[in-house]
Each structure stands twice: as structure tokens, then as C-alpha cells.
Amino acid sequence: LLCQDTDECKDSCIYEEDVQILRVNGEQHLHHIYSGDRPVFICEKTVSSYEIMDESRSDDETNHKVKIELGPQPLTIMKARQLLSRYTMSQNSIESPAVSSAPLLPLWVRCDMADPAGTTWLGAETACTGDKVSGVKLYSVTCAGSTVDKATFITLDELKQEHKKRHHPSMVRPSTAQYNLFGSTVVENTTIESQSSVTVDFRWSHVESILETPPLSSTATLNIKVSSGDMRSPMYPLYRELEFLQILADGLRTGETEWMEPLETRSAVQLTREYLDGRMGTSETEIFNSLMERGDLDFIEQLWVRMRNSVTSYQDVGDCLKLVIKALQYGDVKPWIHRDSSSSLSKLILQSYHHQMDHVSLTGLTPVHMLLEMGLDKMRKDYINYLIGQELTTLNHLSYYLSTVEDLQEQVIRLRKLHHLLEITVTCSTFLGLAYDRLFLLTQHLTQIALDKSLWLWKIEQAVSWGVEVSSGNGPREVKTSWLLSDKPLVEHIIFETGEILFSPQILCYNINYPVAAHFVEANHPVSSLRYTGIEHVALPRR
């Protein structure tokens, strides 16, 4: 009540000295079980840390201690049942006449798997008729741990028998499967996490066997999550270029710049001088990336490429631009530039054609301002070249991103938005092989799209999830028994270890009406299985 009362509004409290009650977002802690939009109570042991001696820092006079933070700690099954029993009784107006009229939030207790069933969670949730509590729904989650032996998996008939222990009539719910098309990578038993992911979720009826392949009649949903900066993305070189732009923009705003590590061994001034002397093509780094390669880079764009790969200070930027402006004044170079170039340097080049150049004082932040303009011009053309060249959009649709009317800070912000749009499009083109019409729609709308039935992605990829559910009854008296397979741990307070592989938690979210889906990976890879039994409805006696 202290945690739930809006007047008290505590995030946690201690119960009977050894139990910690947390008021949390259910989706964050009950990853694959709960998907409600309201908080829940989670009960666990109060132990959260301990101290050990750090021998590497100890001496004769001082002992150094290091605090080790522990993760969530489970309770015994007996303690969990005791807590749920008290929770249930507290909602009974006969047993607790003074109970608050508002029903308590759902209660979930972490369990240590020490019982024969291997229980990892016990849960309870009030069932209401109108604004009155009429019963409590009980949840039980058991986990079988990790295995590579598929023969140990439950069959559909066994799952139905498990369900009939609580309810006789039964119906197999639609099965679910998830395929990971682009995400984290495992290299030498080490998981390299990725912030970007492309998954496809399948749902189908008429399940005939465990781990069956989704039939052609399945409903498929493609989920795309793209985070710029993934080194495996074809867009990574362009992302690095955009990051340099952002550094320049931040420098103009704050007056301080943290320069990137140069890609060139030669100095920026040396590269610029060689470029002006006509010795082009001697750059040690690749000037263009294959995805955005353009054969029409003008003088300013090629100068930008060399400078961004080599400058490490404001002095570098100023010295390089002084060389260029001096060469223009003396007529040593007669460069060509694109007609629509809008940078300050492009205007000086146009003036040099008529030998009437304005004076430019390369002091303060002016050189950085000029370099940022050069980069914006070049990168805008890169994006246009790809999107228009692939006929994925038109200039009218890109007008917001390409506008040069706004100040430089806003121009960089819009360019980053355009980059993210292109990240999604290129990811789908490269890793999914989506047809042109799908890529066109994706570029135009940037919304979730349905897969065409002619595109069967799971034929070329291994599934990463699989689950099935048996249910009976309906409404508040519905009972469900679900079975889940996963290549990751299914609970965060239990760590499974197989050989040298130490699993980390997998985050999944499902609506409470469909509390569990599934996970499974290619053959001979350890998987974790979880059997979810609920909802068992317990009616409360009335007055």
C-alpha cells in the first residue's frame, strides 16, 4: 500500500527485513511475460551488494574494499507462495475489511528454481467486476534451463495435458516465431551487441508440431530498428563523415572541438599543397565509399575529403584554406565547381574567374564555418545522388532536408535526419533484398510495412524464437498454458551457463493476454525453454 498510494508514492520498500518490494514498469522486468501499461510490484531479496578486499590496492596501513553490485536476487518458492497468499487475502473484503477500495497492482515474485518444477516467477493479478475485486489471477513460470537436445522439448500433446491439469476444454492458440535478419553477432563465443536490428515476426493458426516452419498463410510483420554508427552497415563510412560534420557544428556552437583521429599520415597542409599542385590521387585513404561513390566530385568536394581525413586543429583548417585562397588570387588554379554550390568558398571561386575576389579574414571560427559549409554541400549531393539515382524519391520530397535557408546548426540536424532515413532504406535493400516497390514505399512513408507473400525470408535464415499457447475459457476465467524456446536467458535473476557460453538476458515484450512467445536458434546451439502456466482464476468469497 505504501508503494501504491499516490500520496506516499515510494519506488521501493522493505518488507519483513529480507524482502524488497519494487514498484516498476512491468515491461522492463517481466520482459517476455508482461506487456501492460501500468506499474507492477516485484518482490526479491533485499541483498543488493557486498564488499571484497582489493588486493591490488592494499598496503600495510590501509585496506581497500570494493563494493560488488549484485543483480536481482530470487526468493524461495515457499516465501513466494506466502507473499502471494497474503496478497490474495488482502484483496478479500471479508478477510481484510479495511482494505483499500482500489485493487492492488499486479504482484510478481522472483523464485530461485530450487523446487522440482524449476519455478522462476510466481505472479498474481486482481480480476475486477466493475470497480470491485472479484478474484485473483495466479501465474506460474517454470524454466527448464539450457539444452541442445531437441528430444527433451515438450510435444503439443504434452502441452495440452499440462494445461488440462487446471482446465479440461482446450484450444491451441496461434503459434509465433521470430527470425533475426540483422542484429547482434556472436564471434568466438562473444556477443557483439548491435543497436540496429531487423526482425520478422510470424503468427499462424493450425499448429501441428513443435518448431514447425511458419506456413505460407502466416501473418508476417517486419520490425526495423536502425541506429546510425553500426560498423557492419554499408552506411558506416558516410556516418563517420557525418560525425565529422557534427564535430565542426559543435565547435562553432561551443568554441571547443574534439578532433577525430586523422586517417592520413601526412599533414593536412601537405595534402592540400599536393592537391593544388595537381598531384591528385595520392591520398592514402579511400576517398569515396562504394555505396555513395560519385564520379563528379568538384574541386571543393575533393578538398573536403582530404581535409576531413587530416585536420586535427583550428590551425590546420586555417592554413589549408589560406593556401587555397592564395592559389585562387594568383590564378594558380582554375577549379570547376557545381553550379548549385552554395558555400563561401564556392563564391570566392566564382569571383576568381573575374579576378575580383572579396577579402576573407581567416581568423577565429571563420575557417571552421567555411569547412562546415563545404561538407554540407558535399554530403547533400551524396544523399541526392543515391536516392534520386535509385528512383526512390524526388527532389520535392527532399526539400525539407536539403534547404540551405536555415542556419548551419539546423542544416546539420536535417542532414542527420536524412541520413537516418537512408540507413533504414539501405539496411532493407542490403540485408532483406526488398523489391523496388517496397523500398519506394518505405522511403516515402518510413512506416512499418507488410511482407509480400512472395518474399519468404525464413527460408534463408534460422529462427530465433518459437512459441505456442493452449487456452480455455474466456473473459476473466480464461486459463492459458504457454511454452517458449529461447537462445537467451528467460529471466534476469537466473544465469544459465553452457560450456564457455555465459548467456545474458533477452528483452522481449508481450501483451498479458498473450504473455509468452518463443525463442530458438540453429541446431546444436544451446537454447532455454520456459513453460508458462496461467491464468489460474481464484474466486474470492462474497459477503
**Is the model's pLDDT at 521 over the cut of 50?**
no
DSSP 154: P
pLDDT bucket at 319, cuts 50 / 70 / 90: very high
Q: What's the CA gap between 49 and 57, in Å, rounded?
A: 20
Q: Is residue 63 part of a domain?
A: no
C-alpha cell of 228?
Answer: 546510425
Q: How confident is the model at residue 508 (pLDDT cuts 50, 70, 90)?
A: very low
Q: What are phi and psi of 11, to 5 degrees?
A: -80, -25
Contact 271, 323 (CB under 8 A): no
Give me the helices (H) in 155-265, please: 156-164, 236-254
Higher pLDDT among residues 432 and 14, named by residue: 14
Of the candidates 152, 57, 201, the one whose C-alpha atom is nearest the C-alpha of residue 483 is 152
Does residue 285 fall inside a structural domain? yes
Dihedral pair phi/psi, residue 227, rounded to 5° = -120, 120
What's the rounded mean pLDDT across residues 293-320? Answer: 93
Residue 345: the pLDDT is 95
Q: How many CB atoms lie within 10 A of CB 521?
A: 19
Q: What percent of the chain has pLDDT over 70?
A: 73
The pLDDT assigned to 460 comes to 46
According to DSSP, the residues that pair with 178 across neighbouring strands are 201, 465
pLDDT at res. 23? 87
For the ranges 36-50, 321-335, 490-504, the lowest mean pLDDT is seen at 490-504
Q: Are residues 281 and 385 in the same domain?
A: yes
Instruction: Tell me, yes or no, whether 265 and 354 share the same domain.
Output: yes
Decide if 182 is inside a domain.
no
Q: Per residue, what are the HEC states of 80-142?
A: HHHHHHHHHHHCCCCCCCCCCCCCCCCEEEEECCCCCCCEEEEEEEEEEECCEEEEEEEEEEE
Q: Are residues 372 and 284 in the same domain?
A: yes
Q: Of the residues 330, 365, 389, which one is the last residue of a structural domain?
A: 389
pLDDT in tens, 375-385: 999 999 999 99
Say yes or no to pLDDT of 411 above 80. yes
Predicted pLDDT of residue 457: 47
Q: Per-residue pLDDT for 518 more than 50?
A: no
Burial of 144-159, coded b for 16+ CB within 10 Å and e otherwise, reads: bbbeeeeeebbebeeb
Cis peptide before 52 (omega within 30 of 0): no
Q: Which DSSP helix (H) or strand (E) runs through 346?
A: helix 344-352
DSSP letter assigned to residue 16:
T
In angstroms, rounded to a whole number, what is the distance separating the alpha carbons of residues 536 and 473?
11
* Residue 295 lies inside a defined structural domain of this protein: yes
Q: Are residues 37 and 111 in the same domain?
A: yes
Single-letter amino acid code for the residue at 234: P
Please say whether the beta carbons of 200 and 178 come within 8 A.
yes
Predicted confidence at residue 537, as pLDDT, reads 39
Looking at the structure, tell me whether residues 244 and 154 fall in a common domain. Answer: no
Domain membership of residue 328 (yes or no) is: yes
Quick one: which of 375, 381, 364, 353 has its CA closest to 315? Answer: 364
pLDDT for the residue 485 = 79
Look at residues 342, 372, 389 and tell me which one is the last residue of a structural domain. Answer: 389
The number of distinct structural domains making up the chain is 2
Tell how strand 39-45 and strand 107-110 pair up.
parallel
Residue pLDDT, tens place only, 71-85? 788 999 999 999 999
Segment among 182-191, 438-447, 463-472 with least mean pLDDT: 182-191
**Residue 243: HSE in the Cβ half-sphere, 13 Å Cα cutoff:** 14
Q: Is the Cβ–Cβ distance between 382 and 402 less than 8 Å?
A: no
**CA dist 338 → 300, 342, 378, 430, 525 (Å):** 9, 9, 10, 30, 55
Assess whether 151 and 80 both reside in one domain.
Answer: yes
- Determine the structural domain holding residue 364 and report its residue range: 235-389
The predicted structure's pLDDT at residue 455: 42
Q: Tell me if 444 is assigned to some domain.
A: no
Question: What DSSP state is assigned to residue 46?
Answer: S
**118/262 same-domain check:** no
148 and 254 in a single domain? The answer is no
Residue 484 has φ and ψ, to the nearest 5°, of -130, 140
**Is residue 322 situated within a structural domain?**
yes
288 lies in the same domain as 140:
no
Average pLDDT over all residues of the chain: 77
- Examine the domain organization and report whether 40 and 169 are in the same domain: yes
Q: Vertex 249, ends 244 and 253: CA angle to 5°?
A: 145
DSSP state of 75: B
Please state the rounded mean pLDDT for residues 282-291.
Answer: 47
Q: What per-residue confidence (pLDDT) applies to 283?
A: 41
Claim to verify: residue 364 and residue 474 sit in the same structural domain: no
pLDDT of residue 422: 86
Q: CB–CB of 276/282 below 8 Å?
A: no
**For the domain that residue 355 is a member of, what is the CATH number?**
1.10.287.1880
Q: What is the pLDDT of residue 262?
A: 92
Comparing 231 with 319, which gets the higher pLDDT? 319
Residues with Cβ < 8 Å from 170, sequence gap 6 or more? 160, 163, 164, 470, 471, 472
Identify the CA nearest to 199 among candidates 183, 219, 215.
Answer: 183
The reply to whether 243 and 159 lie within a common domain is no
Q: Look at residue 51 in the predicted model and tell me its pLDDT.
A: 60
> Please, which pLDDT band fits residue 445 given cuts at 50, 70 and 90?
low
- Give the other-Cβ count within 10 Å of 330's Cβ: 9
* Cα dihedral across residues 207, 213, 217, 219: positive or negative: positive
pLDDT at 251 over 90: yes
DSSP output for 470-502: EEES-GGG-EEEEEEEESS-S-TTS--EETTEE
pLDDT of residue 338 exceeding 80, the answer is yes
Which pTM value belongs to this model?
Answer: 0.64
Asked if residue 147 is part of any domain, the answer here is yes
Helices (H), 225-313: 236-254, 268-276, 299-308
Domain limit, last residue, from 328, 362, 389: 389
- Separation CA 37–CA 40 (nearest Å): 10
